[in-house]
Amino acid sequence: MKEKKILIVVTNTSEMDDSNKTPTGVWLEEFAVPFLEFKNSSNEELKLDVTVASPLGGIAPIDEESLECKNPTEWDYTKKYLDNSVKLSDVDYEKYDAIFIPGGHGPMFDLAKDELLGKIVSYFYNTHKIVSAVCHGPAGLINARTETGEPIVKGMQVTCFTNEEEKIVKKDKLMPFLLESRLKQLGAYFNAAEPWEENVIVDANLITGQNPASAKKLAKTVLKKLKSN
């Protein structure tokens, strides 16, 4: 049996830095759907160990807008992991086979500038382990560098929550920067589908998803690569 370990890194940010302190956090679907895919994939062929971590440890707040009555009840099971995340600096990350960063707008305010996360993502990328992120999760890739000091996204095919989608939800003026624009500035080849359409881009061991609708396919893509590695 193959045994694999996945590190999920989530935000600790509960408020944006605008004058209204607009609530934010983890977008529940983007955490819960992949988490359950990973947890439920353990079988006779593959055993998966999943760790949920954040820069500060403890509570990773959930974006209130992602809490809807139509959400599957099984998502509720995953909330306890967001309430008790491991502090990122306490994680022995070199023992993991894949890293996954969910979105929500929270990552734009902490994961985007977290130096330790940048170091960890750089390690995964440079050792040819799986690096994956969805929606605003790719903000956690910004500080990651190749062994020659270049951004890991430079020359790579990627996607994320698009500028168009940001404008549709009227959050573009609340962001410290637009993630699509920043990835392009770093030299990424950006791939955009129509707003809210499923879109997962794979380039070597870098896997990115555009929006909440892409979370399940991204998780399945990560699992497929883990099984083949």
The tokens describing 212, both together, are 């909440």
Amino acid letter, 187: G
Beta-carbon contacts of residue 108 (< 8 Å; ≥ 6 apart): 13, 136, 139, 175, 176, 177, 179
What's the CA gap between 158 and 155, in Å, rounded?
9
Q: Where are the domains of the chain?
A: 2-228
Please give the pLDDT value at position 229: 80
What's the CA gap between 24 and 97, in Å, rounded?
29
Please give the pLDDT value at position 92: 98
Examine the pLDDT at 44 and tell me if it is beyond 80. Answer: no
* Range 66-74 average pLDDT: 95
Examine the pLDDT at 106 and tell me if it is beyond 90. Answer: yes
Examine the pLDDT at 212 and tell me if it is beyond 80. Answer: yes
* Range 50-70 average pLDDT: 97
Contact status, residue 7 vs residue 49, Cβ threshold 8 Å: no
CATH architecture label of 2-228: 3-Layer(aba) Sandwich (3.40)
